[in-house]
Amino acid sequence: MSQKSFVWFCLLPLVVVTTAFFLLPMGRLVVAGAEGPHGLAGYLAILTEPRYRATLINTVLLAAATTIVTLIVATIAGMFLQRHRFPGRSVLIAMLTFPLAFPGVVVGFMIILLAGRQGLIGDLSNRLLGEKLVFAYSIYGLFLGYLYFSIPRVILTIMAAVQKLDVSLEEAARSLGAGPWAVQRDVVLPALAPAFVASGAIAFATAMGAFGTAFTLATNIDVLPMLIYTEFTLAANFATSAALSVGLGLITWLILALARSFSGSAVAAAG
């Protein structure tokens, strides 16, 4: 067997798996999206139909906000945790990364325990302000749930990146007169850029497709995965749900590609 055919032979399982579990269902999905009463125009409905469009915008905004806030929180926390040694540090890290294994349902449940009608925040605000604060079922509750979901993932990536930072770069900047803020701006953040892109992409994609949390909270606001679910199971509207699914994938991919190309130059420069 020649070198080349050997490589092809090794690739065969990959080809089979890709075809069976990825290409075929995807192809079927794309076709199904165009099998509704409006044909291919069914895809256009995602953008033209007001309810779909509003849901799409909601979802993208929510995912973007989740990504940005997650990155900020995780960067500050990850930097602090990686750079300082204090009693209780490992317990804190364990607590922060504990939710990694939780499915969205559990996260949604915890948000209800926190900010639901019988929740902790409601009790507290009732006692202090005489008014029950309930936001578990609003977009804020959903946002909080998504944060809870994505922070552990991002924090670990950032901590690993902080550990690999070259401390002498920061010392060099300081020797040249840079104060703490300037060091962060000119040295630390550029060096962390690749980690931001990688973990930000995961946070964004996860938030775009998250379903369990939204389902548990049964919010009055719709996100795309919820919409797909209702169209599919309740309305039995296969074509629309297929079109929405393909749209969800495409839009997520497009936004990530854009983000990558924007930060691409920064990442390349940070080498």
Helix (H) or strand (E) holding 198: helix 189-209
Burial of 167 (0-12, 13-18, 19+ CB in 10 A): exposed
**Helix, strand, or coil here: 243?**
helix
Using rule CB under 8 A, residue 270 touches other proteins: yes
Minimum CB separation of residue 157 from other proteins in Å reads 19
Of 175, 220, 234, 261, the residue at the interface with other proteins (CB under 8 A) is 175
Is 173 among the residues that bind other proteins (CB under 8 A)?
yes
- Check binding of 182 to other proteins (CB under 8 A): yes
Closest CA to 59 of 202, 204, 201: 204
CA angle 121, 207, 105 (to 5 degrees): 55
Residue 184 CB, nearest approach to other proteins (Å): 13
Angle of CA points 64, 110, 210, to nearest 5°: 35
**Is 2 a binder of other proteins (CB under 8 A)?**
no
Query: Which of 31, 57, 172, 258 contacts other proteins by CB under 8 A?
Result: 172
Residue with smaller CB distance to other proteins, 162 or 187: 187
| Residue 266 sits in the site that holds other proteins (CB under 8 A) | yes
Burial bucket for residue 78 (CB in 10 Å: 0-12, 13-18, 19+)? buried
185-204 positions binding other proteins, by CB under 8 A: 186-187, 190-191
Does position 168 interact with other proteins (CB under 8 A)? The reply is: yes
Nearer to other proteins, 130 or 177 (CB): 177
Question: What's the alpha-carbon Rg for the chain, to the nearest Å?
Answer: 23
Question: Which one of residues 177, 234, 236, 261 is an interface residue with other proteins (CB under 8 A)?
Answer: 177
Please report, for residues 10, 80, 193, the alpha-carbon distance to residue 241 in angstroms, rounded to integers and kept in the order given: 37, 44, 36
Report if residue 171 touches other proteins, rule: CB under 8 A: yes
Cα 38 from Cα 46, distance rounded (Å): 12
63 contributes a contact to other proteins by CB under 8 A: no
The distance of closest approach from Cβ of residue 203 to other proteins in the complex, given in angstroms and rounded to an integer, is 23
Q: Does 176 bind other proteins (CB under 8 A)?
A: yes
Q: Please give the helix or strand (H or E) that residue 40 lies within, else none.
A: none
Task: Based on the shown chain and the rule CB under 8 A, indicate whether residue 166 belongs to the binding site for other proteins.
Answer: yes
Q: Which residues sit at the interface with other proteins, rule CB under 8 A? A: 166, 168-169, 171-179, 182, 186-187, 190-191, 266, 269-271
